[in-house]
Amino acid sequence: MPALLELLSRLAAAILLVIGGINLASAWADGDTTIRHLDMSSEVVWTQTPVVVDRSSQTYERVAPVTDPYPMKLRTAGRLRVIDNTTFRYGGADFRLAGVAPIERGKVCMTSAGQRQACGLKAFKALDNVLRNQRVECRIVGGAASEHEVECVVDGSDLRDMLHAELAG
C-alpha cells in the first residue's frame, strides 16, 4: 500500500510539472511573462443590446463554404426498388449507376469451369443486397430527365466498388 501511495504522489507531481511547463512555455512564446485570465467584471463578453458589425472594417479571412460532393441523401428502407443491376427507382425517379455495364436479369453465363450460372440474376441481387436498408449518398453526373445517371457511395465506399466485390465474392 505505501508503494501505491508513493507512485500516485509521483504521478501527481509529474502532471503538475507538465502543466506548469506548458503555461510558462505559452506565456514565453507570446512574448509576455505575465499570465492573464479573462476577468468577467472588466471585459464585456456578451451584450444585451444588438451590435452593428461593420464588415468592411473586419480583417478576417473569408473562407468559402465546403460543398457536399454527394448532395442527394437517400434512405432506402422500404422506398427503393431495384430494376436491374444498374438501375434503381427511388421517390418515383429512376437512377442509373454511371460506369456499370447493364446485364439482363435473365442472362445465363458460363463459368471458367464450364458451368452455367445465372449471372444476370446474381448482378441484380448484388445491387439489391448492397442498397437494402442503407443510407445512400449520390450525385447526378448526367442522363435524361426521366433517368438520372448517378455516382453513389454507401458508408463512404463507392457503390461500383462494392458491387464488384459482391460479385467477386
Tens place of pLDDT per residue across the chain (169 aa): 788 889 889 999 999 999 988 877 776 666 655 555 555 565 566 777 887 878 788 777 878 888 999 999 998 888 889 999 999 999 888 999 998 888 888 899 888 888 998 988 999 999 999 998 899 999 999 877 678 999 999 999 999 998 888 777 6
* Residues 146, 93 share a domain: yes
* Residues 143, 80 share a domain: yes
Residue 91 in any domain: the answer is yes
- 67-98 burial string, b = 16+ CB within 10 Å, else e? eeeeebebebeeebebbbbbbbebeeeebbbb
Residue 83 in any domain: the answer is yes
Nearest to 160 by CA among 142, 136, 144, 91: 136
How many angstroms separate the Cα of 44 from the Cα of each of 41, 47, 68? 8, 7, 37
Give the count of domains, the chain. 2
* Residues contacting 132, CB < 8 A, separation 6+: 76, 80
Residue 153: which domain range?
72-168
* Residues 84, 22 share a domain: no
* Residues 81, 128 share a domain: yes
The pTM (predicted TM-score) of the whole model is 0.58
* Residues 20, 103 share a domain: no
* Residues 9, 89 share a domain: no
Return d(Cα 73, Cα 30) in angstroms, integer: 46
Residue 67 in any domain: the answer is no
